[in-house]
Amino acid sequence: MPLNPTRKGFPLSAPENTQTAPSPFADKVREHVRKTVVGQDVVLERGLISLLTGGHLLLEGVPGTAKTLLVQSLAHAIELQFGRVQFTIDLLPSDIVGSEILDKDSGEFRTHKGPIFTNLLLADEINRASPKVQSALLEAMQERKVTIGESTYSLPSPFLVIATQNPVEQAGTFELPEAQLDRFLMRHRLTYLEADDESEVLKRALNLKLRRSEDGGAMPMSAFDAIDKSAPLGVTDLTAAMEKVLEVHVSDVFVRHCVDLVNKTRNHPDIELGGSPRAGISLVTASRARAFLHGRDYVVPEDIFALAEDILLHRIRLSYEAVARGRNDADVLAEILDQLA
């Protein structure tokens, strides 16, 4: 639900000598991704916030909402290495991080690095993998390194995991525990497109041509074939943007409101498990990145209210009594935000 950013408890005045010009970095990424993806600006913003802050993103939504297409387009926009792992029940940790393989010719073991050695990894349907596999991925996400055999390898920089899960299907899935969910900077729930955006998707699908092969055969193109492979930005541009994010001004009052918000989740009678200290850190760092993307060098209350659901909902758990009364976690959080005055 949309949340009102103009609460009386927040000072809306900006610091002196503030910057309000649009971010060229964000504009170039949005322009590039919009060539392929329609109507997913909020998801793109969440992905950029994760990239700029070194966090990770969990996307929750039904199949067919362009999650994979968006992630690939984002990777091409900044010239990042892209990898994808389809999680299944029989997946092993070594299928993700890699393993040592015996070389028959030399009789020695050689290291085979897994798909996690990339800049942007799409972990598709992460809740279909066993807890052991989930833990291996989430540990690598946290430490930014993996151990193969007796050797430890650092992961590339930047490194971002965008994981997806289907909230509808429950059979054959393993729910992520709260301690592992907490390692994701944000969890964003995707919704269906608006009618106008969905019409644009259909029109673009009608304009796709044939992809011809050298032997004279052909196949209809998909949306993935239409991704613009010419990257307008590079890793150095991303690094410069990350440095700009660190320069965004965060007032002491803003920090106190972030602390108050997290504390209210811990003391609410309907919440059994409140936000961790990492929730407060995530609020501050993500607000900084959002301010930068919106062309500001200072944070405002709107940043908290825009990001609160994605940062806090996967970190809180309602009590059994509250669930029995039909309470909803989003409604409880909205009540808490109303109290920030």
Is the Cα dihedral 237, 239, 242, 247 positive or negative?
negative
Q: What is the pLDDT of residue 170?
A: 63
Residue 9 gets which letter from DSSP? T
- Fold equal for 1-18+249-341 and 25-192+228-232: no
Residues 6+ apart with CB under 8 A from 243: none
Q: Going residue by residue through the chain (341 aa), what tens digit of pLDDT does each one get?
A: 444 444 444 443 344 444 456 688 999 999 999 999 998 899 999 999 999 999 999 998 877 888 888 999 999 999 899 999 999 899 998 999 998 887 777 878 888 899 999 999 999 988 888 888 888 888 888 889 988 888 889 999 999 999 998 876 666 678 887 778 888 999 999 888 899 999 999 999 898 888 888 888 888 888 888 888 888 899 999 999 999 999 999 999 999 999 999 999 999 999 999 998 999 999 999 999 999 999 999 999 999 999 999 999 999 999 999 999 999 999 999 999 998 85
Q: Which two tokens stand for residue 22?
A: 């649009």
Contact 265, 312 (CB under 8 A): yes
What whole-number distance in Å separates Cα of residue 159 and Cα of residue 207? 35
What whole-number distance in Å separates Cα of residue 187 and Cα of residue 190? 10
Domain 25-192+228-232 has CATH 3.40.50.300: yes
Region of 172 (left: φ > 0; alpha: ψ -120 to 50; beta: rest) is: left
How would you label 51-64 residue by residue, b for 16+ Cβ within 10 Å and e otherwise? bbbebbbbbbbeee
3-state secondary structure of 58: strand
Q: What is the pLDDT of residue 258?
A: 95
What whole-number distance in Å separates Cα of residue 181 and Cα of residue 126? 11
What whole-number distance in Å separates Cα of residue 267 and Cα of residue 278? 17
Name the pTM for this structure.
0.87
Q: What is the pLDDT of residue 14?
A: 44
Inter-CA distances, 133 with 100, 104, 123, Å:
18, 29, 11
Burial of 113 (0-12, 13-18, 19+ CB in 10 A): middle
Nearest to 197 by CA among 38, 42, 37: 38
How would you label 17-49 residue by residue, b for 16+ Cβ within 10 Å and e otherwise? eebeeebebbebbbebbeebbbbbeebbbbbbb
The pairing of beta strand 145-148 with beta strand 151-154: antiparallel
Q: What is the pLDDT of residue 7?
A: 42
Q: ∠ CA(331), CA(336), CA(338), 5° rounding? A: 95
Nearest to 75 by CA among 203, 208, 275, 228: 228
User: Domain 1-18+249-341: which CATH class?
Assistant: mainly alpha
Nearest to 183 by CA among 154, 142, 146: 142
Q: What is the pLDDT of residue 341?
A: 58
Q: What is the pLDDT of residue 18?
A: 46
Domain ranges of the chain: 1-18+249-341, 25-192+228-232
What whole-number distance in Å separates Cα of residue 49 and Cα of residue 23? 13
Nearest to 148 by CA among 181, 187, 107, 101: 101
Contact 322, 275 (CB under 8 A): no
Nearest to 291 by CA among 278, 301, 281: 301
